[in-house]
Amino acid sequence: LVTGCSGFIGHNLTKKLLINGYKVIGLDNLNSYYDPVLKKARLEDIKSFITENNISQENFQFFKKDICRRPDVKGIFSKFKIEKVCHLAAQAGVRYSITNPETYVDSNIHGTINILEACKDYQISDFIFASTSSVYGLSQDMPFSEDTSIDSTISTYSATKRCCELIVQAFQFVHY
């Protein structure tokens, strides 16, 4: 499962997985923060990529679903034998997060918890979570590394992504 499959990273990851023989379930809500026309073009590009590389059409299935809706997430997990999850879906944008914090809490935190709960319910331990360099906030340590302090987040976006890092870590220890 690739959440956020029509985003820049998700689109490219999906093609890489397909060319390497994986079957991919793509999930994206196609929200309007970034132009939905661009997201739909990326989905069309995936379809063209499949055809051009003689990949079975059955190897990619896309669902326009919102990870904030737990029944939608559970439905995907119950319908398919998902073995691995790459969770890229998130509400992006630092500036927008300052004026619309609820959107970020819903999508980034609640959505991530919905994905993690489904992983727990379906015993999926192969889970990748994409965070953001924004969690480094005002840090002047360049280049950033895993040892760089992350105690200066400056937006709701970065705070929710940091929160998700901690939630993913907690799920690792508590639920697996």
Catalytic residues, by residue number, are: 157
Q: Length of the chain, please?
A: 176
| Residue located via tokens 């200066």 | 152
Cα Rg of the chain (Å, integer): 16
- Residue 59: both structure tokens together: 């190897």
Q: Is 77 helix (H, G, I), strand (E, B) or coil?
A: helix
CB 161 within 8 A of CB 108: yes
Q: How far is CA 15 from the centre of its chain?
A: 15
